[in-house]
Amino acid sequence: MVPTRINLGVGVLLVVLLGAGACAGGEGDGSAGNRPVAAAPAPSSPEPTEASPEPPPPAVSSAPPSVAPTVSPPKSSPSPQGCPTGEKQREVETALDAIGGYGPVTVDGVQSAADCAAIVKFQKRFGISPPNGRAGPTTADVSRRIAASLTPAERAKCAAGGGLTACVDLSQQTMWVVRDGEVIMGPTVVRTGFSGYATPAGTFKIDYRNVKEWSKPYKVWLPYWQHFIDGIGFHETTTYLHNMGNGSHGCVNLLHADAVQLWGLLKNGTTVKTFGRRSGT
């Protein structure tokens, strides 16, 4: 079969593309694709001519002008505008009320401006994203664990003696530091080893520290590294701590601020006690 040759000649095609940009996840802001259309100028009033009659002077009233009564706007209590009620509102209120220190909350399952402010402050402290005041599942889980770790019964499980002890509660996924029976740090949240890499329970000692350790097996930096057993230690998390579907390979992951504070408290020879068991390991 012989192909047929078609001569199309030479043509010019002019294509004009307008509004090619897009803003992912946002609303139109008047940029390309949302340009406002200029309004046509309003017709001007005709200029008066010499033949136009002169308007009569305005009437003058001898009565005093009336004064409208001043009405004060109604006073309203602050509203949690932009701070939605979450499905775990009452649970979070209950936990924050028990924890204290984040501002007043009312345990009624109804969002208020005060509740919102307390929840936002709590979310920022524990690295919960986004810190929008919404009482969702992550905020409820973290607040429940912190509240549980404040109880005398939970603290007693560490069995910290005299001196300095770092307590890691594997069941609650929290930790705190005790000096001579007094809690001097925490409780705060941690994330330990996941299934197949469970952080062991026991009593250990800090035996090596490095402000920035390189993990040869996993090819990642471990900030504020404090080793205590078999390649396992404390360090700042390199991922979002509250993704509990993840976990470490046995290490105790910390938020940045907590890793820094713990680095300043512990030293070689400090006792570390891990107890309980992380769910699913």
DSSP string over 70-138: P-PPPP-----TT-PPPTTHHHHHHHHHHH-SS-----SS---HHHHHHHHHHHHHTT-SS-SS---HH
Cα-based distances in Å from 277 to 190, 198, 233? 13, 8, 17
46 belongs to a structural domain = no
229 and 264 together in one domain: yes
119 and 182 together in one domain: no
pTM: 0.71
Q: Which residue among 148, 174, 197 closes a domain?
A: 148
For residue 21 the two structure tokens come to 């940009």
Residues 6+ apart with CB under 8 A from 196: 281
SS3 label, residue 229: strand
144 and 169 together in one domain: no
Domain hosting residue 203, numbered range: 160-275
pLDDT at 194: 92
Backbone angles phi and psi of 117, in degrees to 5: -60, -40
pLDDT at 244: 76
Q: Which residue among 97, 117, 148 closes a domain?
A: 148
Query: For the chain, which ranges sit under pLDDT 50?
Result: 1-79
pLDDT at 245: 80
Nearest of 192, 251, 186, 184 to residue 224 by alpha carbon: 251
pLDDT at 124: 98
Q: Dihedral (C-alpha) 84, 150, 125, 173: value to the nearest 10 degrees?
A: -90
CATH number at residue 264: 2.40.440.10
Full strand arrangement of the beta sheet holding 164-169: 182-189, 174-179, 164-169, 271-275, 202-205
Total domains in the chain come to: 2
Residues 6+ apart with CB under 8 A from 106: 93, 112, 114, 115
> Using CA atoms, how far apart are residues 132 and 228, in angstroms rounded to an integer?
37
9 belongs to a structural domain = no
102 and 201 together in one domain: no
Angle (CA) 247 134 86, round 5°: 100
186 belongs to a structural domain = yes
30: left (phi over 0), alpha (psi -120 to 50) or beta: left
pLDDT at 76: 33
For residue 276 the two structure tokens come to 């309980």
Q: Is 227 assigned a catalytic role?
A: no
pLDDT at 79: 43
122 belongs to a structural domain = yes
Q: Is 251 assigned a catalytic role?
A: yes
Catalytic choice (83, 116, 158, 251): 251
Catalytic choice (116, 167, 227, 235): 235
pLDDT at 238: 85
